[in-house]
Amino acid sequence: MSIFQLIKIPIITFSVFNLLACVQQVDQQENIPIICVFPNQQAAPGWICGGPVSGLDIQAVGVVDKSVAGINYMQDMAEIAALKNLTELFKLKAGKSVTQYLTSLGVENKKAIKAGASTINNISVETLDVAKPYKSQLGPEGRMYVLVGLDKNTSKTLLENAVKTSMKNDIVIWQKMQTQKSLDEMTAGIVAMESVNAKQ
State mean pLDDT over 154-166: 95
What's the pLDDT band for 170 if we cut at 50, 70, 90?
very high
pLDDT, tens digit (0-9, with 9 covering 90-100), for 70-90: 999 999 999 999 999 999 999
Q: Is the pLDDT of residue 9 over 70?
A: no
What's the pLDDT band for 178 if we cut at 50, 70, 90?
confident
Q: Which helix (H) or strand (E) holds 96?
A: helix 71-104
Strand-pair partners of 132:
149
State mean pLDDT over 146-166: 95
Q: Highest mean pLDDT range out of 38-52, 83-97, 166-180, 184-198?
A: 83-97
pTM for this entry: 0.79
**Would you list the domain boundaries of the chain?**
5-199
State mean pLDDT over 153-174: 94
Q: Is the pLDDT of residue 21 over 60?
A: no
Strand-pair partners of 146:
62, 136
Gyration radius (Cα) of the chain, Å: 19
Residue of 89, 91, 162 lying closest to 122 (CA atoms): 162
Q: What angle do the packed helices 109-120 and 71-104 form, to 10 degrees?
A: 150
% of the chain exceeding 90 in pLDDT? 66
Q: Is the pLDDT of residue 197 over 80?
A: no
pLDDT reported for residue 181: 87
pLDDT reported for residue 200: 53
Q: Is the pLDDT of residue 190 over 90?
A: yes
State mean pLDDT over 136-163: 94
**Strand order across the beta sheet in which 58-64 lies:** 58-64, 144-150, 132-138
